A and B are shown apart, each in its own frame.
Chain A
């Protein structure tokens, strides 16, 4: 059974940093693209970033470029999202998803809440 478990969310002040993790199990992690998708409270879904199986390709939504970094450790079956220079508008539930190269998210985690506030 595919399982994705996010962790690392919490309350952070504007300008601060946070690192999200996603522990994957139940499939061959190193054979799949992975994505981060977020959802602000009461709002819709927003694609944030994705990463190729071997980490050689990474793409980001314009609003996080230069501030967020997606990475993975295939030996640990883990996906990460390093978030720097956080802003109030980054407040959201962040979902980790197993995806295809074209971006279809077949499996999702339960999400982790990030709140940026002073």
Chain B
């Protein structure tokens, strides 16, 4: 049950696009299409942004998209906006029917 690996921080200017990676192993990301991404603003509860690798829950902007290749999943955000500044966490279903999160990535909108 080791944590998934995410970059500690990423940044971009308003209007630009960024990508956050999430690297796991063949025991989690690589074996299951059950990757999700969460957005968390300071002092708030997390919010689900992507599930099943690339699906968006109702109400989530289509500026957010997800993908996966091998043991690495990615979250892309296009047309960056000030309100996108937050922490982002990936999560994956893992062997033994458990769940594992990434360490989190702080997105700064310059």
Q: What residues of chain A have their CB less than 8 Å away from a CB belonging to chain B?
A: 35, 37, 44-47, 50, 57, 59-62, 95, 100, 102-106, 108-111
Q: Give Cα A60–Cα B98 distance, bound, in whole angstroms.
A: 7
Q: Give Cα A45–Cα B51 distance, bound, in whole angstroms.
A: 16
* Contacts A44-B102, A103-B91 known; 18 new A-B pairs at CB < 8 A: A35-B99, A37-B46, A37-B101, A44-B103, A45-B104, A57-B97, A59-B96, A59-B97, A60-B98, A62-B1, A95-B46, A102-B32, A103-B34, A104-B48, A104-B52, A104-B91, A105-B46, A109-B45
Contact A105 B101, beta carbon cutoff 8 Å:
no
| Known interface pairs A47-B98, A47-B99, A59-B97; A111-B1 also in contact (CB < 8 Å) | no
Contact B36 A46, beta carbon cutoff 8 Å:
no
How many A-B residue contacts, CB cutoff 8 Å? 64
**10 A-B pairs with the lowest CB-CB distances in the bound complex, closest first:** A47-B99, A103-B99, A44-B104, A102-B34, A108-B45, A104-B51, A45-B101, A104-B36, A102-B93, A44-B103
Q: Which of B32, B40, B101 contacts A47 (CB 8 A)?
A: B101
Is B3 interfacial (CB-CB < 8 Å)? yes
Q: Give Cα A50–Cα B34 distance, bound, in whole angstroms.
A: 15
CB distance from A27 to the nearest CB of B (A): 14
A106 proximity list for chain B (CB < 8 A): 48, 51, 57
CB distance from A51 to the nearest CB of B (A): 12
B36 proximity list for chain A (CB < 8 A): 103-105
Q: Which of B1, B38, B93 contacts A45 (CB 8 A)?
A: B38
